[in-house]
Structure 1
Amino acid sequence: MIAESTRDNIFPVKQPLVLPVNTNGETKKDTVRKKSQERFLMSKQLHRFSTRALALQCAILRGELLSEVIRDRVRYLLLDFLAVTLRGSILPSSQTVYAMLRSGAFGSCNDEHGVTILGRAERMEASWAALANGVASHGLELDDVENESSLHPGVVVFPAALALAESLKSNVEDFYAAVVAGYEVTLRVGAALHPAATYERGFHPTAICGALGATAASARLLNLSPEQTTMALGIAGSMAAGSMAYLDEGAWTKRLHPGWSSHAGIVAARLAQAGFVGPTNILESRYGVLHAYSSAGDVSKLERHQDDEPLIMKVSLKPYACCRYMHGPIDCLLKIRQQHSPEPEQIAHISCGVLTGGRGLIMDPIEQKREAQNIVDAQFSMPYGAAIALLTGKAGLSVFTDSWLANPQLRSLMQRVECYTSSELDAHYPAEWRAAASVEMRDGRIFEESIRYPLGDPHNPLSWEQLEARFHELVSPVVEDEAKRLEIVERVRTLQAMNIL
């Protein structure tokens, strides 16, 4: 039997709202589902750390029982996703994906069977639309992120959930449930992997965990049973991939990772729905995700305790157009600039304290990071982030450009940036992404700052008003009509039906 406490928490048993009811007050569909869940629990040795347990939590989640606080968080993150995806749709990397889809190799769905590609007129089958939107969403390096898992959940969950919900004509309650389930799986698996160990092996956590999270969201929208959801996750485990080799050459493949994960999630869920068999222990087995993609996997991180809030509540937004590991030091340097206005020519030395978990992304090798050659390089260069913050007082999209990359004053300042790691900063990682920075002037003055929660963290959040301003700033080149942008914002803030697209 499913414990009553399970029914009462954030993952309660799903019941359709309108169906014929039997004499016990249960619908026929609900009775079948309950018996399936009971068989699932009794026929398997269901461990609280298992793939099956995670699948069960997703399958029985009910959107209508989510608190308004959680629903508001879904809407908040959705608006952020739409902002970065619409703006990302005009990037060259996104354009190549649209060209591939237009080639006809994957068929055309420019009719009622196709779903929306954000920022575009053409439509495609759901899994390919998810790929296109996922690629666009990750191109700016402005998409949401979570501390413990060190990954980007929104760009894998929303492309799959939006595309499939549109295709299935899902109700908004199922959409809420799918998004929360997708974030939960993505972030729980990400924490269990131990991101530093995954980076060390050369894998991108967003790509690995994202395929599983997109699958969870898709499975929930398809109303899969716990057994089918387990199979879907097992299938997705063979689709999870994402190399960190993009760091060496400024390649676009990082942008592909969430797109492919979203695509894989829909395909995996549909395969499971059709009866395709996958492994039932894809996370915890000796050949499973936690062992294949990490040397420090911790299966206990998969467990959800009854009093835990959904992990979607722990997600941060990114105010700066670069790797999240750069944001803390940038916050410190922006404050130093605001308070002391150091003249760039008089700066002798800049020191940035970064987290060990991110040093391979933004710090090492420091000589290479000081010589960033393209925008992707700049987005993962602490010397670039530090120099641009001090020069301009900004770190948004407008200053991660080729023209700034070629600026002689910026290139000179980048050579004066040093980075370090310390046990003091790492002591609270990954729960807290602390950072520090100092600027030493040629006359001997030293300005220092530190931060506990970088801007955008749930403990230091952007308000709805700030998020809406960011939406207009990002989206205006794509949706020039302010009235249309305001309409999108209003539809997201109310979200009474799946009519946002």
Structure 2
Amino acid sequence: MTLQRDLAWQNLELLYQSSVAHQYARYALGLNYEMLPQDVVHQAKRCLLDALGCAIGAYDAPGRKMVEDYVAELGGNEEATLFGTGKRSTVLNATLLNSFLVRYLDYNDCGGGAHNSDSISGILATAEHVKASGRDLLTSIVISYELGARVQESTGKGWGESLGAKGWTPDFRGGLNMPPALGKMMKLSESQIANAIGICASHSLPLGILDTDNEENTMSKNFRFGFVAHDAVIACRLAAKGFTGPLRVVEGENGIGQVVLQGNMDINRMTNFSGWRILQTKFKYLPANISSIAHILATLSIVNEHDLTPEQIASVRIRAGLKESKHTTYFAKKYPRNAESADHSAFYANAIAIKERAYGPQSFDPEKYTDPVVLDLIEKITVEADPSIPERDRAGISEIMMTDGRRFEKRIDVPHGFGNDPLSDAELEEKFGKMAAPYMSDEQIRSIFKTIWTMEHVDHVESLTALMAFSGKL
């Protein structure tokens, strides 16, 4: 009987050792800064810079004070810095608040499986707590992007056609890519990281209603990944104490593969660790739904080139892919009453572009949702699917008819920031600067730039988090 038991336990251990959770843990523990190519390190810095800029630009978000008050009520040990006030709180609280800020403007990067810069708040808070170096931080950022991208690749055609169609968001990947990124800095063992994956991924599955076609977006959209990252911190701390989770959370019975992907999950792609996926990360030129950027840019080009004013315009016809025409046109998004819906409204974005000849973080001031000129322009705009544009393509067409009979049309197939037209380092700094200028001095902004671009020489990431303190507009 003892022999049978021992064989059964050995077989179980072999099964677990081959699990995705253990493979992800081994990947994280085996990856060191010295193994990272310079272009990978540089891209990680770009991701960090862009994420922090988005967080600063979100300081006036209505939900920010609510989350701040909540974490203040929770209290706790002073482990990590809260962006904005600069106060210190627990890693959990910092992850929650700072993730909310990074996500609010929908201006953050597109990579690592979706908007993976949402992961950076939790990674940075943990790094600060464990007194990690800049090299440790960059390595963990790379781990998160590399594993997150592979989770997305394993879902097939893309999350919108697989996960989205099944009612999930791609942010469930946080349960798989955050514990390895955090656990490495926390010096967890392979077994502990694998168990943390099981703990987190079996409990953190954000629903698609957080960002769907026919529902109003709410403040909770900004926690799509943040809550999962928050849970990953808990999972790692529990695992460090020996707490266990389902190691076959991906491929096991009623695991992610069966329940979330309904059997359509490619484990081989998920565990193919060749290449560097972080290099595929793209950065947004405008704070809008990805497939909206092209037609917004087209409208901006027309109104600025021809010096158009709202009262001259008779109608605007926006054409895009089928997904864009559905995702940004629900009546609650047509007439948005919060930034979460406004940045996903083709109507509102183009109305603002026409009225202000600009579109950016300043476009979400609440009074603009009821601006008579904006509302009048919205009534003149139509949005439709164009058969020449594939369903999920990022191309967009703006056609503007004038009251005097003139007609202007502009088509943009690949918006700046995507395809082979990435944002340069200088453009990322400019984007950051525009968001930070209302809150920080030029000297503080330059200090953040210098710290991030030389992060590999930083002994303790507190050198960076200390620079994320500001107290409202200057």
TM range (shorter): 0.7 to 0.9
Structure 1 window deviating more from structure 2 (452-461 vs 395-404): it is 452-461
Count of residue pairs brought into register by the alignment = 446
Identity of aligned residues (%): 22
User: What is the correspondence of 1:122-161 to structure 2 with a 5 Å cutoff?
Assistant: 122-146=87-111, 149=113, 151-155=114-118, 157-161=119-123
1:428-483 Cα offsets, whole Å, 9 max, x none, are: x5xx633333333455544333333322226222222222222222123332x321
Secondary structure of the corresponding residue to residue 288 of structure 2: coil
Kept in 1, the 8 Å contact 2:153–2:270? The answer is no
| C-alpha displacement of 1:84 | 1.4
Give the letter for the 1:487 counterpart. S
Q: Check if 1:184 corresponds to 2:146.
A: yes
| C-alpha displacement of 1:75 | 1.0
Kept in 1, the 8 Å contact 2:319–2:385? The answer is yes
CA distance in 2, matches of 1:317, 1:406: 30
User: What is the correspondence of 1:102-117 to structure 2 with a 5 Å cutoff?
Assistant: 102-103=72-73, 105=74, 107-110=75-78, 114-117=79-82
User: What is the correspondence of 1:51-450 to structure 2 with a 5 Å cutoff?
Assistant: 51-103=21-73, 105=74, 107-110=75-78, 114-146=79-111, 149=113, 151-155=114-118, 157-193=119-155, 194-196=158-160, 197-206=162-171, 208-246=172-210, 248-294=215-261, 297-300=264-267, 302-303=269-270, 305=272, 308=275, 310-363=276-329, 365=330, 367-422=331-386, 424-426=388-390, 429=392, 433-442=394-403, 445-450=406-411
Kept in 1, the 8 Å contact 2:328–2:334? The answer is no
Unaligned runs of 5+ in 1: 1-38
| C-alpha displacement of 1:382 | 0.8
CA distance in 1, matches of 2:11, 2:425: 42
Secondary structure of the corresponding residue to residue 181 of structure 2: helix
Kept in 2, the 8 Å contact 1:188–1:301? The answer is no
Give the letter for the 1:389 counterpart. A
Change in CA separation of 1:288 and 1:378 when aligned onto 2, cut-off 3 Å: same
Change in CA separation of 1:263 and 1:95 when aligned onto 2, cut-off 3 Å: same
Q: Check if 1:43 corresponds to 2:14.
A: yes
* 1:19 match: none
Change in CA separation of 1:435 and 1:226 when aligned onto 2, cut-off 3 Å: farther
Give the letter for the 1:85 counterpart. A
1:204-250 Cα offsets, whole Å, 9 max, x none, are: 323x2234332221122123343333222111112323234456344
Structure 1 window deviating more from structure 2 (193-202 vs 137-146): it is 193-202
Q: Which of 489, 492, 496 is matched with 2:449 structurally?
A: 489
Secondary structure of the corresponding residue to residue 131 of structure 1: helix
Change in CA separation of 1:500 and 1:304 when aligned onto 2, cut-off 3 Å: same
Secondary structure of the corresponding residue to residue 203 of structure 2: coil
| C-alpha displacement of 1:413 | 1.6
Q: Check if 1:470 corresponds to 2:435.
A: no
Change in CA separation of 1:41 and 1:78 when aligned onto 2, cut-off 3 Å: farther
CA distance in 1, matches of 2:349, 2:341: 11
CA distance in 2, matches of 1:101, 1:305: 39
CA distance in 2, matches of 1:268, 1:65: 27
| C-alpha displacement of 1:500 | 1.4
| C-alpha displacement of 1:327 | 1.1
Secondary structure of the corresponding residue to residue 420 of structure 1: strand
Kept in 2, the 8 Å contact 1:177–1:220? The answer is no
1:10-34 Cα offsets, whole Å, 9 max, x none, are: xxxxxxxxxxxxxxxxxxxxxxxxx
Kept in 1, the 8 Å contact 2:292–2:394? The answer is no
* 1:10 match: none
Kept in 1, the 8 Å contact 2:221–2:340? The answer is no
With normalisation by structure 1, the TM-score equals: 0.81
CA distance in 2, matches of 1:396, 1:273: 43
| C-alpha displacement of 1:99 | 0.8
* 1:26 match: none
1:272-296 Cα offsets, whole Å, 9 max, x none, are: 2222221222223342224433458
Secondary structure of the corresponding residue to residue 316 of structure 1: coil
Give the letter for the 2:26 counterpart. L
Change in CA separation of 1:222 and 1:461 when aligned onto 2, cut-off 3 Å: same
CA distance in 1, matches of 2:84, 2:16: 47
Change in CA separation of 1:338 and 1:305 when aligned onto 2, cut-off 3 Å: farther
1:261-318 Cα offsets, whole Å, 9 max, x none, are: 221121122222222221222223342224433458432574365653x221112222
CA distance in 1, matches of 2:368, 2:116: 30
Secondary structure of the corresponding residue to residue 187 of structure 2: coil
Unaligned runs of 5+ in 2: 1-9, 466-474
Secondary structure of the corresponding residue to residue 317 of structure 2: strand
Give the letter for the 2:42 counterpart. D
* 2:420 match: 459
Secondary structure of the corresponding residue to residue 425 of structure 1: coil
With normalisation by structure 2, the TM-score equals: 0.85
